[in-house]
């Protein structure tokens, strides 16, 4: 199976680190984010990865090469100007359109979720999104009916709400809904949802983290040490 990883972004919130190194090559617990992603995909029987590159693309190509050191094949699709995640995936149509189904991963997430459920779900629809429960960015204080503080919870999971985990499986039908330039969340997903062609699969009890800030790197490193 093939997987596309969207690694063309600027990583502005991680400056100055990303002034000289693309975010996917930033190390988390001694290993680049992209290396961890490729290894995770290989564990789940992905044998070819398409990297949708843009910003500092030469450094990514130099590091990953043809994929031999990871034990799979790696191809590249270059966006000469920022296209957004939807446009970046549309740009890779020639590499993916012949597949019965394929995975897509945002280039800034780390997870151990099993994408097999997504692959199975698209037998009936054009796409499936992995969903994870929302974790509060703040500590939560519980009070009793009289207003007295009873319990303090540090950044708890809020099980009533589910967020996009940035891991998808699609059939080639998705290319009919992708913009030439724009975000997949803003353009493609609403159209697929309106036509009941998109499923959301809930993952409980998995490790998942989006690397957006310096603090995210610190938190992931602490978590990985305990896994």
DSSP states along 68-84: GGGTSEEEEEE-SS--H
216, with CB counted inside 10 A (0-12, 13-18, 19+), is middle
8 A C-beta contact, residue 192 and residue 123 = no
Catalytic one among 116, 155, 204, 222? 155
8 A C-beta contact, residue 170 and residue 127 = yes
Q: Which residues contact 226 (CB under 8 A, 6 or more apart)?
A: none
CA distance 10 to 29: 22
DSSP code at position 180: S
Of 17, 30, 24, 95, the C-alpha closest to 64 is: 24
Residue 191 falls in the annotated catalytic set: no
Region of residue 30 (phi > 0: left; psi between -120 and 50: alpha; otherwise: beta): left
Give the three-class secondary structure for 133. strand
The catalytic residues are 155
């Amino acid at each position: 199976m093939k997987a596309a990883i969207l690694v063309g972004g600027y990583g502005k919130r991680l400056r100055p680190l990303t002034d000289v190194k693309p975010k996917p090559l930033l190390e988390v617990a001694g290993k680049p984010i992209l290396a961890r992603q490729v290894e995770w995909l290989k564990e789940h029987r992905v044998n070819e990865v398409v990297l949708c590159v843009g910003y500092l693309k030469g450094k990514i190509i130099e590091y990953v090469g043809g994929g031999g050191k990871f034990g799979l094949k790696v191809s590249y699709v270059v966006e000469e100007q920022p296209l957004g995640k939807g446009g970046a995936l549309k740009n890779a149509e020639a590499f993916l359109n012949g597949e019965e189904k394929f995975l897509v991963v945002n280039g800034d997430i780390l997870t151990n979720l099993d994408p097999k459920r997504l692959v199975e779900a698209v037998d009936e629809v054009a796409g499936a999104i992995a969903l994870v429960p929302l974790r509060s960015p703040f500590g939560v204080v519980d009070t009793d009916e009289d207003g007295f503080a009873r319990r303090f919870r540090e950044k708890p999971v809020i099980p009533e709400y589910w967020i996009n985990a940035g891991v998808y499986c699609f059939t080639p039908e998705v290319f009919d809904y992708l913009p030439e330039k724009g975000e997949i969340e803003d353009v493609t997903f609403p159209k697929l949802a309106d036509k009941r062609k998109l499923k959301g699969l809930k993952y409980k009890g998995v490790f998942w983290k989006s690397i957006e800030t310096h603090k995210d790197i610190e938190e992931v490193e602490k978590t990985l040490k305990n896994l």
